[in-house]
Chain A
Amino acid sequence: MTTAIAVEAQSARKDYGSGQFAVRALDDVSVRIEKGSFFTLLGPSGCGKTTLLRLIAGFETPSAGKILLGGRDITYDPPNKRPVNTVFQSYALFPHLTVAQNIGFGLQMLGRPKREIAAAVDKMLALVQLEDFAGRKPQQLSGGQQQRVALARALAPEPEVLLLDEPLSALDLKLRKEMQRELKRLQTETGITFIFVTHDQEEALTMSDRIAVMRKGNILQIGAPREIYNHPKDRFVADFIGETNFLSGTVEEGAIRLTSGDLVEAPTQGRSGKVTLAVRPEQVRISGAGDPGSLAATVADSVYFGTDTHCHLRLADGTEIVARLQSAASGEAGLARGDQVSLRFEAGAAQVVDE
């Protein structure tokens, strides 16, 4: 089966400035984004997320490479010729227009008849639950309401692709969670391809069909949230998405000998010599001292977080490992600094990652 591709970047490169001030914001990035999917660009500040979005929107042209929309080369089309709309981080609502006029703006510029615009605006107002606010000016709305207007405005012309650049970052935590679900619902209901930018890994994991993890102008890994979380390709991805323990060791007969001397079962992926193992804290199990087939460890610290407890353990050579234990389920309450315990990793938990 071939899935339709909504947007494709082919070796897209973007250089800003020149000479000694030159910055390569995007370093030959290639990516295909499936039609109707919720695709997230995730990465730390300055990694080029906004730049990639701006290339797709047409606010910038790439220094090299191509941008395709539905297979058509749009690299040099101006923004107003692309069936792509953007939700800006600052919302960028027109202050002199009412909510309804803001939402109808795109269709008005496309020269659609008044009736059609009015109908579309009503539909959008209902979709984002702002029916009672049609006549207000943006300044008279709360942050969350402005956010909804920005969404409705971008969705009204029914673009092929909707670009969202950290649209939730200005909202407080509670509203943010609410809008996350709202966005997901809108995406499912409209079937429009969403390209979403965030540097919040949790947001990326909960909302996306696929995630691209970026760093310094490159895409390191693309995959479904589970795939990225459970099988991070390298140390950066593992560290950026959720907390991770990193352990150094050497490959020894299909297993890995840690620096502490313990032997850990893990797929070596045909590697040899020194490797790095990544283990998620919630996949570390603790039992009483002297458990056979386990690693001997000492409790260095135990921090209570409510639903779970983070237990800092030390292996024989001093390597630190964090275990996240569910407070209710385990006997974590009994752990005290200096206790001798055994720890082991759940099956398949230990992953070899690139440095």
Chain B
Amino acid sequence: MADTRFSVSRLPGFSTIAVGVFIILYLPILMLVIYSFNGGNSIAVWEGFSLQWYPKAWNNEQVRDVTMRSLTIASAAALISTTVALMAALGTTRRKQTKGQTFVYLMINQPLMVPEIVTAVALLIVFAAIKVATGYQGLGYLILAHSAFCIPFAYLPIRARLEGMDLTLETAAGDLYATPWQTFRHVTLPIVMPGAIAGLMLAFVTSLDDVIITLFVKSAGQDTLPTYMLAQIRRSVSAEVNAISTLLLVLTVILLTGFFLLTRKRT
């Protein structure tokens, strides 16, 4: 039987455009990965296969320093934002639809909608004031800022999981002598856990590659991996950056695969 419904995929030129888009999306990434194995110090001319850039990057004191800082910030921000997101999701999915609900969603998802540069400037101003008042110069500002913009990324998978959860399960737990805390601990939490872990991963990845807010908020000597790479590329184009990017790419792919496996519908 002929399918008479309208389908974008049958428009003339559809496949050409699709292929074009995929090339634009993935070719640069492919180039990057390939050139991370370049024998020479160029990111444009191929000079034979070599693994040299990986140990070089690893032996670079500065690279190790910024990597550690990035991982610290990303871990802390992922934990904080996931915790906050979990509480927000519990608060927004458990009650009847109320008038203010859309507003609450907007508030939680603010970082997705407000231009990042605006948030960055706003944070800069607030943190500058706090820095002057307290004298504190540590990583706390970056962790706080990252936690804030990671919340929506952690919130979405948790909310999806909670909305799919049968609330009768909590009623049943209460019926079986569980106190509200026990119900949370033994029923709700284990059931949202895949969502929470997915949120954690997403938040981690989001924090890991942030540039704009980090640039504005960081104090001197607080470069993260992305801001360090940016500075490097501006100064001198080095294949070392390719190697680091490739490693970041691998880490991200692993985390995102984990995310998809966790959020995939299971029966």
A109 proximity list for chain B (CB < 8 A): 173, 176-179, 182, 186
Q: A90-B166, A96-B191 are in contact. Are A80 and B179 (CB under 8 A)?
A: yes
A280 proximity list for chain B (CB < 8 A): none
Taking the complex as formed, is B172 at the interface, i.e. its CB lies under 8 A from any CB of chain A?
A: yes
Taking the complex as formed, is B267 at the interface, i.e. its CB lies under 8 A from any CB of chain A?
A: yes
Taking the complex as formed, is B112 at the interface, i.e. its CB lies under 8 A from any CB of chain A?
A: no
Residue of A whose beta carbon sits closest to that of B172: A92
Taking the complex as formed, is B236 at the interface, i.e. its CB lies under 8 A from any CB of chain A?
A: no
Instruction: Give the complex CA separation of A88 and B172 in angstroms.
Output: 8
Contact indicator B175/A80 (Cβ below 8 Å): yes
Taking the complex as formed, is A59 at the interface, i.e. its CB lies under 8 A from any CB of chain B?
A: yes
Taking the complex as formed, is A147 at the interface, i.e. its CB lies under 8 A from any CB of chain B?
A: no
Smallest CB separation, A82 vs chain B (Å) = 8
A79 proximity list for chain B (CB < 8 A): 171, 174-175
Contact indicator B190/A96 (Cβ below 8 Å): yes
A85 proximity list for chain B (CB < 8 A): 175-176
Q: A94-B187, A109-B182 are in contact. Are A80 and B174 (CB under 8 A)?
A: yes
Smallest CB separation, B109 vs chain A (Å) = 29
Interface residue total, chain B, C-beta cutoff 8 A: 18
Main secondary structure of the interface of A (DSSP, over half): mixed
Taking the complex as formed, is A48 at the interface, i.e. its CB lies under 8 A from any CB of chain B?
A: no
Taking the complex as formed, is A66 at the interface, i.e. its CB lies under 8 A from any CB of chain B?
A: no
Smallest CB separation, A132 vs chain B (Å) = 22
Instruction: Give the complex CA separation of A106 and B171 in angstroms.
Output: 13
Taking the complex as formed, is B168 at the interface, i.e. its CB lies under 8 A from any CB of chain A?
A: yes
B169 proximity list for chain A (CB < 8 A): 92, 94-95
- A interface footprint on B178-218 (CB within 8 Å = 1, 0 otherwise): 11001000110011000000000000000000000000000
Taking the complex as formed, is A139 at the interface, i.e. its CB lies under 8 A from any CB of chain B?
A: yes
Main secondary structure of the interface of B (DSSP, over half): helix
Residue of B whose beta carbon sits closest to that of A81: B177
Taking the complex as formed, is A110 at the interface, i.e. its CB lies under 8 A from any CB of chain B?
A: yes
Partner among B166, B175, B177 whose Cβ is within 8 Å of the Cβ of A110: B177
B168 proximity list for chain A (CB < 8 A): 88, 90, 92
- A interface footprint on B139-177 (CB within 8 Å = 1, 0 otherwise): 000000000000000000000000000101101111111
- Which of chain A's residues 67-97 have a Cβ closer than 8 Å to chain B? 78-80, 84-86, 88, 90, 92, 94-96
Taking the complex as formed, is A157 at the interface, i.e. its CB lies under 8 A from any CB of chain B?
A: yes
B190 proximity list for chain A (CB < 8 A): 96
Contact indicator A86/B172 (Cβ below 8 Å): yes
A59 proximity list for chain B (CB < 8 A): 171, 174-175
Contact indicator B175/A57 (Cβ below 8 Å): yes
A57 proximity list for chain B (CB < 8 A): 175
- Which of chain A's residues 39-79 have a Cβ closer than 8 Å to chain B? 57-59, 78-79
Contact indicator A92/B166 (Cβ below 8 Å): yes
Contact indicator B267/A139 (Cβ below 8 Å): yes
Taking the complex as formed, is A105 at the interface, i.e. its CB lies under 8 A from any CB of chain B?
A: yes
Contact indicator A157/B174 (Cβ below 8 Å): no
Instruction: Give the complex CA separation of A90 and B177 in angstroms.
Output: 19
Instruction: Give the complex CA separation of A84 and B267 in angstroms.
Output: 31
Residue of B whose beta carbon sits closest to that of A78: B174
Contact indicator A105/B176 (Cβ below 8 Å): yes
Smallest CB separation, B147 vs chain A (Å) = 28
Smallest CB separation, A254 vs chain B (Å) = 55
- Which of chain A's residues 142-179 have a Cβ closer than 8 Å to chain B? 153-154, 157
B173 proximity list for chain A (CB < 8 A): 94, 105, 109
Contact indicator B166/A153 (Cβ below 8 Å): no
B172 proximity list for chain A (CB < 8 A): 86, 88, 92, 94
A58 proximity list for chain B (CB < 8 A): 175
B166 proximity list for chain A (CB < 8 A): 90, 92
Residue of A whose beta carbon sits closest to that of B165: A95
Partner among A86, A95, A106, A110 whose Cβ is within 8 Å of the Cβ of B191: A95
Most chain A CB atoms below 10 A, which of B168, B176, B190? B176
Smallest CB separation, A173 vs chain B (Å) = 25
Residue of A whose beta carbon sits closest to that of B169: A92
Contact indicator B171/A80 (Cβ below 8 Å): no
Most chain B CB atoms below 10 A, which of A105, A153, A154? A105
Q: A86-B172, A92-B171, A96-B190 are in contact. Are A106 and B267 (CB under 8 A)?
A: no
Smallest CB separation, A83 vs chain B (Å) = 9
Instruction: Give the complex CA separation of A94 and B165 in angstroms.
Output: 11
Q: A95-B191, A96-B191 are in contact. Are A86 and B178 (CB under 8 A)?
A: no
Smallest CB separation, A81 vs chain B (Å) = 8
Between A and B, 12 residue pairs with Cβ closer than 8 Å are: A57-B175, A59-B171, A79-B174, A86-B172, A90-B166, A92-B169, A92-B171, A105-B176, A109-B179, A109-B182, A139-B267, A157-B176
Contacts beyond the supplied A80-B177, A86-B172, A105-B176: 15 A-B pairs with Cβ under 8 Å: A59-B175, A78-B174, A80-B175, A80-B178, A80-B179, A85-B176, A86-B175, A88-B168, A94-B169, A108-B186, A109-B176, A109-B179, A153-B176, A154-B175, A157-B177
Query: What 5 A-B pairs have minimum CB-CB distances, sorted nearest first?
Result: A106-B176, A92-B172, A92-B168, A109-B177, A79-B174
Chain A contacts to B: CB under 8 angstroms: 57-59, 78-80, 84-86, 88, 90, 92, 94-96, 105-106, 108-110, 139, 153-154, 157
Chain B contacts to A: CB under 8 angstroms: 166, 168-169, 171-179, 182, 186-187, 190-191, 267
